[in-house]
Amino acid sequence: MTLSEKSAYLRGLMEGLKIDTDKDEGKLLSAIVDMLEDVSYAISDIEADAQAVSDELDQIEEELDAIEEYLDGDEDEDDGCCCDDDEDEDDEDVDFDYDDDVLYEVKCPVCNEIITIDEDTIAQGSVSCPKCNETLEFEVDEEESEDSCC
């Protein structure tokens, strides 16, 4: 028996017993039955909302699974290299901005200051820390940086 059925049963019992709702005891019982009916309707609404949320979450989970499967499928198709010359048809519509400089964060070993530098600064071989003036030197292997994949 559901809560609304139980509250309706109590209402029927009260009416079947012909409780006088003009007396104090009758007023109290009638108010209790009314409140129980209201509570049962509220709980019924909450259960319906919870079911709707659950259904929506199931749908979102299915869509996320499909997205994950799609993304995992793309990884399986290539050999793991991000710089293949073969372009996918999907990539033709994507406009990448390759003019942005690559920036690196370097931590000064003396004062622990984080310094952001670009590739040109690294190519110069050294930079001074703006906080403590410590000279930070860089060693770049040109052959490795040009030939490396990924």
Both tokens of 24, joined, read 């104090």
**Which contiguous run of DSSP H or E holds residue 120?**
helix 119-124
How many CA atoms, within 13 angstroms, populate the side-chain half-sphere of residue 62? Answer: 6
How much of the chain is helix, strand and coil, in % rounded to 5? 55, 10, 35
Domain residue limits at 126: 101-141
Q: Which of 62, 78, 84, 71 is nearest to 149 (CA)?
A: 84
- Decide if 78 contacts 97 (C-beta within 8 A): no
Total residues belonging to the chain: 150
Position 28 in a domain: yes
Average confidence score pLDDT of the chain: 80
Same domain membership, residue 113 and residue 52: no
Same domain membership, residue 110 and residue 59: no
Same domain membership, residue 10 and residue 42: yes
Same domain membership, residue 105 and residue 73: no
Same domain membership, residue 18 and residue 59: yes
Domain termination residue (choose one: 23, 44, 77) = 77
Q: pTM score, two decimals?
A: 0.41
Q: What is the pLDDT of residue 138?
A: 79
Higher pLDDT, 80 or 118: 118
Position 95 in a domain: no
Q: What is the pLDDT of residues 127-138, one digit of tens each?
A: 888 889 888 887
Q: What is the pLDDT of residues 90-105, one digit of tens each?
A: 555 555 555 567 788 8
Same domain membership, residue 72 and residue 113: no
Over residues 58-67, the mean pLDDT reads: 94
Same domain membership, residue 68 and residue 8: yes
Q: What is the pLDDT of residue 21?
A: 87
How many CA atoms, within 13 angstroms, populate the side-chain half-sphere of residue 114? Answer: 3
Number of structural domains in the chain: 2
Same domain membership, residue 70 and residue 38: yes
CATH of residue 121: 2.30.30
